């Protein structure tokens, strides 16, 4: 059986929002988008910012101030997907900061605490440590992340990153299943056919292709502790599991939720691969599954060919997403709703009925009821799969 977790009220709101995004107003139409998910993500989706809080008492030393300014400069140039703020404990920190402070787990200050992007609603910190050069370097970058970055920006569809459990037999069996399935998918999986529609335009980057690769990381690898913490902290029970975890990475180092243990199966691997290589069903990033890794990357240089208007404009990383109605598939195909892990990442939505359109309300009821049912089914399909 699959491990399921339902949040009925937020699920309903998410489904209604997804319906509005994809279907738009009754009787309206929109252009189709056949650009594969992995390529659309690479060209358009900027990494979400992790949140950094620096706790200190009184003025920072000259050395600590210099480190802080380096971090702020990197974040300001969008080379690190991180926002920063400082909390002087000699002042009056608010309740949320007082709750976060124990996570620093050390008497020595200053201490930097890192949390996931806000919309993921994961309160537990990912990392905590001093402002030392060695500690910050390991937090913001690592050999494995640099290799993932190289492969994705060269045009690979996805890098399948396996976090080993430590049980060699279990880990090697999972890796063998992955290698066999991914090798076959590279020859059998077909990309959607692009049309002359403006929605199907891709930039002058690497040629579209289906190409997968597998990488493995030990949980105790000293050079990858920050990365392992990001991956195993995305859901509350992952860190304690003694099973291998597989995260498909795509776009600008975005991780899908993992396949776990027995869920690293041929069917689940094919399902994830088909999603990544399939037509981009919804161009709104937050309505697609997964979370971004904290990474150092000069995206303007790495993807100089990707001229996404929002990215090229230098828009703030913390800006709210623009919600636009985009269906999937070719122009002749009917629209369909794809509901993903938005249950986890969307804020509460207040829904108002329009007083000037009473004639539509009755006709929408059966549609909305059907969409709710579809959303519940879709939520099962995108949850982390164990079998």
How do residues 272-325 score in pLDDT, each as one tens digit? 999 999 988 666 666 777 999 999 999 988 988 776 444 443 343 334 433 333
Cα-Cα-Cα-Cα dihedral sign, residues 227, 229, 234, 239: positive
Pair 13, 348: CB distance under 8 Å: yes
Residue of 17, 7, 66 lying closest to 287 (CA atoms): 17
Residue 94's pLDDT is what? 87
Asked if residue 40 lies in contact with residue 278, where contact means CB atoms within 8 angstroms, the answer is no
Question: What's the pLDDT score for residue 288?
Answer: 76
Helix (H) / strand (E) element for 291: namely strand 291-292
Please give the residue that has the higher pLDDT: either 367 or 233.
Answer: 233
Tell me how crowded residue 27 is: count the other CB atoms within 10 A of its CB: 6
Query: Who wins on pLDDT, 177 or 23?
Result: 177
What count of residues does the chain have?
A: 387
Whole-structure pTM value: 0.74
pLDDT score of 31: 52
* Mean pLDDT value across the chain: 76
Given this model, what pLDDT does residue 242 score? 94
Interval 64-86 mean pLDDT:
90
Spatial separation of the C-alpha atoms in residues 113 and 131, rounded to whole Å: 10
pLDDT confidence of residue 371: 45
With a cut of 60, say whether residue 95 has pLDDT above it: yes
Residue with tokens 């579809």: 374
Phi and psi dihedrals of 245, rounded to 5? -120, 135
**What pLDDT is attached to residue 197?**
84
Answer left, alpha or beta for residue 290, where phi above 0 means left and psi between -120 and 50 means alpha. Answer: left
Q: What does the alpha-carbon distance between residue 232 and residue 3 come to, in Å, rounded to a whole number? A: 16
| Other Cβ atoms within 10 Å of 77 Cβ, number | 11
């Amino acid at each position: 059986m699959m491990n399921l977790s339902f949040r009925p009220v937020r699920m309903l709101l998410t489904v209604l929002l997804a319906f509005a995004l994809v279907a738009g107003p009754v009787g309206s139409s929109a252009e189709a988008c056949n650009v594969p998910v992995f390529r659309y993500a690479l060209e358009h989706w900027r990494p979400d910012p992790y949140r950094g809080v620096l706790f200190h008492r009184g003025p920072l030393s000259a050395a600590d101030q210099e480190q802080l300014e380096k971090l702020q400069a990197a974040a300001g140039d969008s080379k690190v997907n991180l926002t920063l703020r400082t909390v002087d404990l000699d002042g009056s920190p608010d309740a949320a900061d007082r709750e976060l402070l124990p996570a620093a787990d050390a008497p020595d200050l200053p201490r930097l605490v890192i949390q996931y992007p806000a919309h993921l609603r994961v309160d537990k910190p990912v990392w905590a440590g001093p402002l030392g050069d060695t500690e910050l370097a390991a937090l913001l970058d690592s050999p494995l992340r640099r290799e993932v970055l190289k492969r994705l920006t060269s045009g690979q569809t996805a890098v399948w990153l396996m976090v080993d459990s430590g049980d060699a037999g279990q880990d090697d069996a999972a890796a063998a299943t992955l290698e066999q399935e991914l090798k076959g998918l590279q020859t059998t999986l077909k990309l959607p056919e692009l049309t002359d529609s403006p929605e199907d335009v891709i930039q002058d980057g690497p040629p579209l292709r289906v190409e997968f690769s597998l990488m493995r990381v030990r949980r105790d690898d000293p050079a990858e502790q920050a990365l392992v913490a990001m991956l195993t902290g995305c859901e509350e029970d992952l860190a304690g599991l003694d099973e291998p975890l597989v995260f498909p990475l795509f776009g600008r180092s975005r991780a899908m939720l993992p396949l776990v243990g027995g869920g690293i199966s041929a069917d689940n691997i094919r399902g994830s691969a088909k999603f990544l290589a399939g037509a981009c069903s919804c161009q709104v990033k937050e309505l697609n599954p997964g979370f971004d890794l904290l990474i150092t990357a000069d995206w303007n240089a790495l993807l100089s060919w990707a001229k996404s208007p929002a990215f090229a404009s230098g828009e703030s990383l913390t800006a709210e997403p623009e919600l636009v109605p985009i269906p999937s598939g070719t122009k002749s195909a009917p629209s369909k709703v794809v509901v993903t892990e938005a249950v986890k990442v969307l804020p509460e939505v207040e829904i108002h009925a329009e007083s000037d359109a009473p004639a539509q309300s009755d006709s929408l009821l059966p549609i909305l009821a059907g969409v709710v049912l579809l959303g519940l089914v879709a939520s099962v399909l995108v949850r982390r799969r164990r079998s």
